[in-house]
Structures are given as structure tokens and as C-alpha cells.
Amino acid sequence: MKTETDNINNELMPRTTGVVHNMVKLARNTRRWIYFRLFRTPIDILITCIISALLLQFLPKVLAWLTWNSVAFWGDPNLCTEEGACWPFLREKIRLILFGTYPFSEQWRPALACLLLVGLVGLSFTQLLRLRSTVIVWTIGSVAFFVLMSGGSLGLVEVDSIQWNGLPVLLMLSIFSVIGAFPIGILLALGRFQKEDPVLRSIAVGYIEIVRGVPMVMVLFMGLFILPLMLPESMNLNSLYTTLIVLVFFHAAYFAEEIRGGLQALPKGQYEAAKSQGLTYWQSMRFIILPQALKCSMPGNMNTLLGAYKDTSLVVILGIHDIMATAKMAYSEPQWQQYGVEAYLLVALWYFCTCLCLSTYSRKLETTESKAAK
């Protein structure tokens, strides 16, 4: 008769065999991946060896500078040396990097305003609200943002926009410029795509090609000096709001081309089906054509959005202090001048994390749409 121990061993045998089999399979797949990706051809072997040599040369030094040769965030800044990072610098200057010259006692307001904008973006990505509800929420949130930043009401101390620096300026210019540019880009794409009105088509084509044919820096400078001349004398826009308007019309041209590509990607039968149902031009665009075109142009639109977000840092040449400028301000004092790398690492980490979130959401959305299409 089998003993109890034999029964237990017999039960565990298939499990142990399965674990060993999975480990062997994982090792085989890993070895195959390494071979096909890194050592398949002589050129692959050469590139792998060069990259490995560079990593072995520089990676230990970088890790040493970041970790064991550095001074901890809570440490004494007097112990900082050139051999390692001085993280206490960020502890001392984090508020200057994030909010610049905004009044120190009132910096809870830009912090709350930044959280508000980030929360609105996250809420929009969840797709829990319908279009009308999203517009209402964004309208209320935008008003709340500017009330928090400017003050002068609800018992808040008034702060001039010249003192708006750092992260709030970055979020304001990037988010609101994209929000304003996207619907204008749709109209420009429709104007260029249609063939019934050649004058409207020529205007759309001319605008898109002119904007895409000049550098963004030139457009910013022209907008800063020319736009105020086109406004009534009683209406004065400071450089911050002028830059926002210029960014809206600049990014609209790039969104227009991406959306036009989505319109051209749709089969002709979709347009014919809309006409056969007796829909007007705007009805067919709203209910049939544009939803499909926007899905087709989603990767390009997300790429344009990421570019618009990062290109906002160019506004520093106009004297607007975004987070790149405030990072420079943070190490401008004599005792901190050698720690600029730490400041820019913080800014780079912010850009990387936010762009990674946007690109991850884009990939997830594309996967969802492709599964729904199947």
C-alpha cells in the first residue's frame, strides 16, 4: 500500500515538473531573444559590443554620481562635492524651480492650480464624462485656474502675470494651446479637404503651409510684436497671453494636417453612405466622417500633442519663465552655481514622466480601438 508520503510526492510531482518546464522554456526564449536581437549578424554583434563597452565605461561613473558619492536629499549641503550629486540643492530650491518668483506665502495657489489642471487632464483620459459634461467641467476648471493664479477676488491677493513662473506657466501654455488648437485644426482640415469652395481651400492651404514653413521661434516673435498692433488700443495683452494665442494658431496647422490624413484614409464608401442617408455636410461630418477620421489620425495627433508640450519650453526666449527658466534661476546664486545638473535632472524627470503617461495612454487607446474594430 502507498504511504501518505508517497501520495504527497505524487501530487507534487506534476507541479514541480510544470515549474521546471516553465523555467526551461523561459530560459530558452530569453536566449533566443538575445540571439536574434543582439548577435544575429556581424553588424549586430559589432553594435552590441560597442554599446556594451560604452555602458561599462560610463554607467558605473553615472551611478556613483547619482547614488553612493552623492549627498542625500535630507543631508547637509556643506558636504556636497563635485564627485556626487547634491540633492539638498533640490530641497532648498524646489519651490523656486516649480513656482519661480510667485509670492512665497501664496505658492499654495499655483500648486493647487497645477493639481487642478493635471486632474482635469486625467479625468478627460478616463472618458467617464460625455462631451458636453467635459466642456462644462473644463470651463469651470479653467476659470478656477485663472482665479487662483491672478487673485484679486474671493479674498485672494492679486498677483500680476509677470510673477507667474515655472510649472503653472508650462501647464497653462501647453494644455490651453492644445485645447484651442485642436478645434481650429479640425476646421482647417475640413477647409483643405473639401473641393466645393476653391477659395476656402486656398486660404486653408496657404495658412497651413505658411505656418509649417517657418520656425516656431519666428512665429512667436512675430506674434509678440505684430498681434498687439492688430488689437484696439484699449485692449492690452501681456506677453503671456499673447504667447498663448500664438501657440494656439501655430499648433492648429499641425493638427490640421494630421486630421486631413485621417480624412483621406477613410474609404470613399463612407462618404457615399452618408449622402445616401440624406445627411447634410455638417451632419455627415459630425456623426460619420470625423469620428472615424479622428481615430485614424490618433497616433499623429498624439505625436503633435507631445511635440507641442515639449516645445513650450521655447517661450523662454521671449522672457517668459517656464520651468526651464526657473531651473536656471535656482542655480544662479553663487553658492549653487555648480549644481545646475541636479536642477535640469528634475525638469527632465518631469517631462519624461508626463510624456510617458501621454504615450502610454495613446497606446492603450489605440489597442482598445483596434480590438473594438475587430
Task: Please say if the pLDDT value at position 203 is more than 50.
Answer: yes
**Residue 1 binned pLDDT confidence (cut-offs 50, 70, 90):** very low
Burial 217-236 (b: 16+ CB within 10 A, else e): eebbeebbeebeeeeeeeee
Residue 132, phi-psi category: left (phi > 0), alpha (psi -120 to 50), beta (remainder): alpha
Q: What does pLDDT average to over the chain?
A: 84
Residue 112: predicted pLDDT: 94
Residue 175: predicted pLDDT: 93
**For residue 307, what are the contacts with CB-CB under 8 A and spacing of at least 6?**
254
Using DSSP, state whether 191 is helix, strand or coil.
Answer: helix
In order, the DSSP letters of 107-127 are THHHHHHHHHHHHHHHHHHHT
What gap in Å lies between CA 140 and CA 110, rounded to an integer?
Answer: 17
Task: Please say if the pLDDT value at position 254 is more than 90.
Answer: yes
Q: Residues, the chain, total?
A: 374
Q: Which CATH number fits domain 88-373: 1.10.3720.10, 3.90.650.10, 3.40.50.150, 3.40.50.2300?
A: 1.10.3720.10
Residue 58: predicted pLDDT: 87
Residue 186: predicted pLDDT: 92
Mean pLDDT value across residues 95-110: 91
Residue spans per domain, the chain: 4-66, 88-373
Look up residue 222 and give its DSSP letter.
Answer: H
Residue 366: predicted pLDDT: 75
Report phi then psi at 168, rounded to 5.
-60, -35
What gap in Å lies between CA 312 and CA 110, rounded to an integer?
Answer: 18
Contact call for residues 61 and 69 (beta carbons, < 8 A): no
Residue 5: predicted pLDDT: 55
Torsion, Cα 255 256 261 266, to 10 degrees, reads: 110
- In the block, cell 500500500 appears at 1
